[in-house]
A and B are shown apart, each in its own frame.
Chain A
Amino acid sequence: MNNIVRIGNAQGFWGDSPGAAARLAQQQPDLDYLTLDYLAELSLSIMAIQREKDPSMGYARDFVEVVRSLTPLWKKGSQLKIVTNAGGLNPLACAQACQRLLQQERLPQIRIGVVSGDDLLSLMKTNPQNHSFENLETHESLIAIQEKLVTANAYLGAKPIVQALSMGAHIVITGRTADPSLTVAPCAAHFNWSLDDDYDRLAGATIAGHLIECGTQVTGGISTDWLQMPDPAHLGFPIVEVDANGDCVITKPLNTGGKVTINTVKEQLLYEVGDPDHYLSPDATVSFLSLTLKEVGENRIHISGAKGNPPPPSYKVSATYRDGFKAEAYLAIFGVDAQTKARRCGEIILQRVREAGYDLQRTIIECLGAGAIAPGVVSSAPSMECVLRIAAADSRQEALDCFAKEIAPMVTSGPQGVSGYSSGRPHIRPVFGYWPCLVARDQISPIVQILEASR
């Protein structure tokens, strides 16, 4: 057994660089695992719409192309394994699509494991009175939105992935899984950790997973020092070298852009974190307060000392529900008093919609370039140019149709210097509300299966 396991991340979110996986695998041939994260809080609601149109969909189709891009490596004998939540709402369909591809490519030896059992939609729809399904933020009862639920998925942990790996899977495809668990599972499988006992080690691997789960965010992306990053067009994707204690070195391949420094690592450690003494994951409750960071080489930061305790007795659930529609439009205004003109344009649009009979339920007028991003907090100096951004939300689609048709008339009835309408009439999009809640562990039974190649 190697004394370290090398795990890279080549996808921080659905829409990240499609060529990153093959690139990272080529740059770092000794990589043991690649993790790819496709699921933000609302991604599954987009997949639900795709599945409504076609029941064989509902997963990140981009992942099949990632598998295709890796086939030359496997043909050369690479042992690289993949762990991903690309399965979304339909992990089995995702796995079958990958299997078809691997057979066409004559790679039947690449086995695919599928993890499901995270989907709680029917359980929640039939038990809306269950207290654990109350909204964690607002404490509202699920009954309020029960009819409008679109997706409901528990964040599963590392255990079923470990099981799939131990059954010989080279590619493990899951639905909703806690992001760090995609990294914890290969560590636990490699070092044979107990998922019911080795909490400090699991905590260390959870930290490693947390650091790489957003791809280039730890190698210079969105860093405070972004403008100083070398070769920013080619930021390296991150790699963790995890040891048998769960400590790790985070790094990136040689000859890639960006940096891995104490600063980039501290920033990403704090990304989307609440109480740093009780970071909750399905594998462990982790404390960041005992971590030690040490630079041990160029672009190499050693992280040790994570403390773990048993995970919470419930799984976190991310549910989404239909919440009406929204649309947004932009107009560029150039000239003296640009900001005043932009705001007036916005007010006129809303007035015309009102006069057409629709009092829009929620609206916003932003004068971009004039302190609109953090209004009242950080101001900007007056400028000769300003972008009007106007957005509206309403439960009535026809109200937003009316709104969308009132943007273009400003091109001839608005101020001199109005431009930027080339993107055309705004699209009306569905709004999905986010419903975080909990589910007792004993209500969930993760299912693990291995697809057998048909020869």
Chain B
Amino acid sequence: MTFSIVPLRTIAYARSGDKGDSANIGVIAYNAAGYAFLREYLSADKVNAYFKPLGVTSTIRYELANLEALNFVLNHVLAGGGSRSLRTDSQGKALGQAILEMPIEIEDSILKQARRSY
């Protein structure tokens, strides 16, 4: 078995937004193979650790098998959120692009199937 390290965007797309001081990120696989991989690989713990530098306190993951998507809720990741946060991205709009840069380690045969094909 050979593995590659690629950015998450190779096999998924995303959207993020705010909910008060928390944010959510939807991560959507391009196909069923990608979803099967992400369901195993992209745990709430992994996402929480990735966003630790932004101050996230906990992360909850929801599975949407029908949409081949995972929804992550990142608690207290916005340094106050809304008008209170002093950050440029006070509403978590950039978190989708940020998660898509996450390096993932994936077996080459799975990568071949999970990759965007359109």
Contact = CB atoms under 8 A, between A and B. Distances in A.
Interface string B91-105: 001111110110000
A45 B13 CA distance: 34
Given A270-B28, A434-B81, A391 B86 contact: yes
A393 B82 contact: no
Interface stretch (A229-237, A368-376, A447-455): A368-376
B109 to A, nearest CB: 25
Interface string B21-42: 1101010100000000000000
A428 interface: no
Interface string A389-418: 101110000000000000000000000000
B84 A377 contact: no
B67 interface: yes
A48 to B, nearest CB: 13
Contact size range, B: 35 or more
Interface stretch (A57-65, A273-281, A348-356): A273-281
Contact of A378 (B26, B52, B101): B101
B20 A137 contact: yes
Contact of B98 (A274, A372, A378, A434): A378
B15 A137 contact: no
B95 A374 contact: yes
B21 A137 contact: yes
A346 B110 CA distance: 47
A121 interface: no
Given A272-B24, A323-B84, A374 B89 contact: yes
Given A267-B28, A275-B62, A374 B86 contact: no
Contacts of B87: 364, 366
A292 B65 CA distance: 11
Contacts of A434: 20, 81-84
A392 B85 CA distance: 10
Contacts, number: 125
**Is the interface on chain A under 10, 10 to 19, 20 to 34, or 35 or more residues?**
35 or more
Nearest to A267: B15
B98 A269 contact: no
User: B-side binding surface: helix, strand, loop or mixed?
Assistant: mixed
Contacts of B98: 373-374, 377-378
B93 A222 contact: yes
Contact of A272 (B13, B17, B65, B82): B17
Contact of A293 (B50, B52, B67, B100): B67
B114 interface: no
B54 A271 contact: no
A241 B44 CA distance: 37
Contacts of A267: 13-15, 26, 28
Contacts of A377: 50-51, 53-54, 98
A93 interface: no
Given A224-B15, A374-B54, A436-B20, A364 B66 contact: no
Given A368-B88, A432-B82, A433-B83, 15 more contacts: A41-B20, A267-B14, A270-B15, A270-B24, A271-B15, A274-B71, A326-B86, A366-B88, A374-B89, A374-B94, A376-B54, A377-B54, A433-B82, A434-B20, A434-B83
Nearest 8 pairs between A and B by C-beta?
A376-B53, A270-B26, A224-B13, A267-B15, A272-B17, A374-B98, A364-B86, A391-B86
Interface of B: 9, 13-15, 17-22, 24, 26, 28, 50-54, 62, 64-67, 69, 71, 73, 81-84, 86-89, 93-98, 100-101
22 contacts: A41-B82, A42-B82, A137-B20, A222-B15, A222-B93, A266-B28, A268-B15, A270-B64, A274-B73, A288-B67, A290-B66, A326-B86, A366-B87, A373-B94, A374-B53, A374-B95, A374-B98, A376-B52, A377-B50, A377-B98, A389-B88, A434-B84
